[in-house]
Structure 1
């Protein structure tokens, strides 16, 4: 046992939790922690981002790529509030993250002091839990609890706010080994398993719908065994990409608003929909009353609050989905559904993904990235058309290889997340796909990438419009393009070069592959500005609020 300042206790607790990288931005209230961090810079790597929001997104991306808890730091007031969008992004996608902020000293709380904000009050709806530490005797145990809560059950972000006087005070510290995170199995009942087994065995046309919960649980091997054992096609949500091998013959693509026709029609026709770690987002189900209307629905999820929340289920098993699948696989004999699988294969042949092949487009760029990287890269995205193309045209073979904001849909997320991911998986090629609208929001983080030589590749699908909003304006708003055109004088190549990155502009299909290969070989921060047409659209598509079987594409619009 030794006597340390509160700031030093924070650092020692981070070391206890095996934290190797922290993303943040200093300020007055958190200076004591940054001073302590200075003394431990050989043990904990700190990345100074250009903006606190970038720090939160980087911690989130680090967590998604590694499965570890991401950590970010900020000072009081505006420093803390600048983390809010990143915390909310992590909350919506169940990402384990600990955000550490410092507030004004205890005597100044509640007095509208300089740079004071009630950050625990602000973040209460968007954290799994949050704390304000006003007593140094509770500091170490609070941080330990924060890490445990962030990882237990359904993960999520936890915020720890510490008053400045606590970081300056002294108290006894004793090292404690973190307790292992135990999978939630006590809620998995024999009765629920037997019901699930009966439904699976009776089904003639089963379909598996997998979400991000399967990735969080590390259930990819059990999921693959399960799908092949019961011979069921597999579709995924945006967050479920990589939970099931995208090159496997049973895989049918994403489901929902921009899902494949095969997945949308197949789920509509199936007699049993097995939902694994997915929450029935509105972008997935479309018109809820018509979703999988011919099927019984069997849901596996660690969070009981998700059962019957958006879609009424016929049965469920609550608990860690890896454990659920392992228990089911042991009891299941192989089931033959060859006729059903053959029907789904015919749908695949009838409704392939299609795009204009003669010019440089988003889908062409995504397919070329897949070809050049062999499907072995980590792909991050911003939010919009480019995000959907990245989900549709890159075949994700592995979990934690697709880093994107699903629930909150955060423009400006991907660049920070890509940097965080690269810090966590240094041996992987990490590419962020952005639209020009998203890139504008946080492109200042290119300066962070060059400062630390974080060799990410930033690809901008530059159509000079807010592409997804324009697509809706074209289809549903009579082509009234209200404030979605970005025809100005901004030059992304010059901006990137001004921040110290290597930059290219690509205007044709032929130019893209050699530029991408050179960018990978350089192993430095690179920006590739790809000029595409403003009216390229994401298809297939389901109109908002329509049943998912009413999916259409460009060919259907010609009729």
Structure 2
């Protein structure tokens, strides 16, 4: 866009702040540093809520979770060099899970770029593979337009993180703030409306199917089409399974729900998918943790795939009926053409699988079972809490034993599998939902990585709760070492601090328990604590997550089912 002679002149840092306000940004996360001082100086005079983490990675995860909870674009900021590189894990996490985020990074003066100046790194080069788009702005007069495009790209089509690198001389320089205009980017035209013939073909395939399964991914949550997927499932009478990222897109209390599928998914979901004659994938990408061995995935089914990203169609699994478009728009058009079918024999078969292979554990054990802790959380919160997790065994147990009713209720790292995501994401979620009960269900190893963010929660009086399922191991790694490496626990055992006492030292509440009979009272005490609180649960050290689809196995070749059958 050309500069308008009537546009007001102002400092680059002020332009940044004006664009943030124009884009509706009311909350930011980030860490101060030398080359972003001009921007922070202008933020001083705004009413934008600013949360300072204890580490830039934490800030990126907070912005990520804030975006997931609100549907808005999350915003984080860091200085040049190590500040920018510390953001990269959070940016990559957002990229893998299609989270709208704008990351602002400071950069050294333009004339110093390439000269190995103090705290100089090639931020755009480093982040190019892990961003939807990135750019370094070297002319202050282009700053407003580039920022507007960043927000547009981050939030449209398949969302993702956009990084804008801003040299300090651009922040302190003077340029024009041109008025907003319609963004027209010839090389970027997301398709949102589905092709009429493909929609008709999709409806025809559903109407002809006898054993269909709806396979719902995180794209349904991103597109705010939970109601639309529910309407389709109910009209056509189709069982619904979700990915880890899709949990909450469909109410798990519905009789049509068959819970999560995949490596640690429900046996009955995996069996249903493998025996279906039509798999209806919506907003999902056929991740390897979902499909098992690709060559034996859904051997007798047609694949119908609805997705806004054409690059996802037939990327991993050959699709027979593709529909490119926004699920929010496409699903109602398909639903209008659907017929209701009783599918009695199909649901009877699924019911048999459910009875034979439910999620369960040894409920007569004397020590603390992690599944029991999560069930107690679900009972005492009435299934209404916002749950975040780190990554590992605890993440899978949180997906298996807490039943989700609503979209954006379960916040977790799916594609990248980022340990340490749980606590900072809980903080971002709590900022987004100040009235909600937010619980980080975490593992000790994952919690160790970012536990200093408890100070952030204390500083801003954010009443996040962290339940640490503490087994003294990198739990999922230990499970693999047990199953595939003859219990050679090479460096997977950790010496943990007393998490409850650490929490107290940081100004939060801390509770520690070791016996099963302590669980209900401890959960109640934690939930009623006025402020951030950590509940350290010393669980059985060698508890495993079952069922499990081992590498190289088909989705219906699950280990652990025989263990379930032996349980009382």
Task: Specify the TM-score bucket, using the shorter chain as the normaliser.
Answer: over 0.9
Range moving further from structure 2, 326-335 or 16-25: 326-335
- Aligned equivalent of 1:122: 126
Please give the residue correspondences for 1:70-81 in structure 2 after superposition, counting only pairs within 5 Å.
70-81=74-85
User: In structure 1, what is the Cα distance between the partners aligned to 2:214 and 2:136?
Assistant: 42
CA shift for structure 1 position 230: 1.2
CA shift for structure 1 position 478: 0.7
- Aligned equivalent of 2:301: 295
Range moving further from structure 2, 451-460 or 353-362: 353-362
- Aligned equivalent of 1:439: 447
- Normalising by structure 2, report the TM-score: 0.95
CA shift for structure 1 position 373: 0.8
Unaligned runs of 5+ in 1: none
Q: Please list the CA deviations of residues 354-389 of structure 1 after superposition, one character each: whole Å capped at 9, or x if unmatched.
A: 102133111111111111111111100000000000
Q: 1:192 to 1:368 in 2, by over 3 A?
A: same
SS at match of 1:83: helix
Contact 1:17 1:178 in 2 (8 A): no
- Aligned equivalent of 1:553: 560
User: In structure 1, what is the Cα distance between the partners aligned to 2:519 and 2:349?
Assistant: 37
User: In structure 1, what is the Cα distance between the partners aligned to 2:377 and 2:468?
Assistant: 13
Contact 1:218 1:322 in 2 (8 A): yes
User: In structure 2, what is the Cα distance between the partners aligned to 1:15 and 1:183?
Assistant: 25
Matched, 1:24 2:30: yes
SS at match of 1:484: coil
- Aligned equivalent of 1:351: 357
Q: Please list the CA deviations of residues 313-347 of structure 1 after superposition, one character each: whole Å capped at 9, or x if unmatched.
A: 11110110121111011222322212211211121
Pick from 227, 230, 236 the counterpart of residue 233 of structure 2: 227
SS at match of 2:171: helix
Contact 1:231 1:338 in 2 (8 A): no
- Aligned equivalent of 2:73: 69
Please give the residue correspondences for 1:1-400 in structure 2 after superposition, counting only pairs within 5 Å.
1-40=7-46, 43-176=47-180, 187-357=193-363, 358=365, 359-400=367-408
User: In structure 1, what is the Cα distance between the partners aligned to 2:437 and 2:456?
Assistant: 18
CA shift for structure 1 position 520: 2.3
Q: Please list the CA deviations of residues 283-307 of structure 1 after superposition, one character each: whole Å capped at 9, or x if unmatched.
A: 1101001001111111111101011
Aligned residues: 556
CA shift for structure 1 position 519: 2.3
Matched, 1:479 2:490: no
- Aligned equivalent of 1:468: 476
Contact 2:217 2:245 in 1 (8 A): yes
User: In structure 2, what is the Cα distance between the partners aligned to 1:164 and 1:177?
Assistant: 27
- Aligned equivalent of 2:515: 508
User: In structure 1, what is the Cα distance between the partners aligned to 2:90 and 2:357?
Assistant: 37
- Aligned equivalent of 1:417: 425
User: In structure 2, what is the Cα distance between the partners aligned to 1:26 and 1:271?
Assistant: 55
RMSD: 1.8
- Normalising by structure 1, report the TM-score: 0.97
Contact 2:361 2:564 in 1 (8 A): no
User: In structure 2, what is the Cα distance between the partners aligned to 1:309 and 1:142?
Assistant: 31
Contact 2:192 2:326 in 1 (8 A): no
CA shift for structure 1 position 414: 1.2
Q: 1:17 to 1:186 in 2, by over 3 A?
A: closer
CA shift for structure 1 position 556: 4.5
CA shift for structure 1 position 557: 8.9
CA shift for structure 1 position 57: 0.4
Q: 1:186 to 1:82 in 2, by over 3 A?
A: closer
SS at match of 2:441: strand
SS at match of 1:249: coil
CA shift for structure 1 position 503: 0.4
User: In structure 1, what is the Cα distance between the partners aligned to 2:360 and 2:92?
Assistant: 35
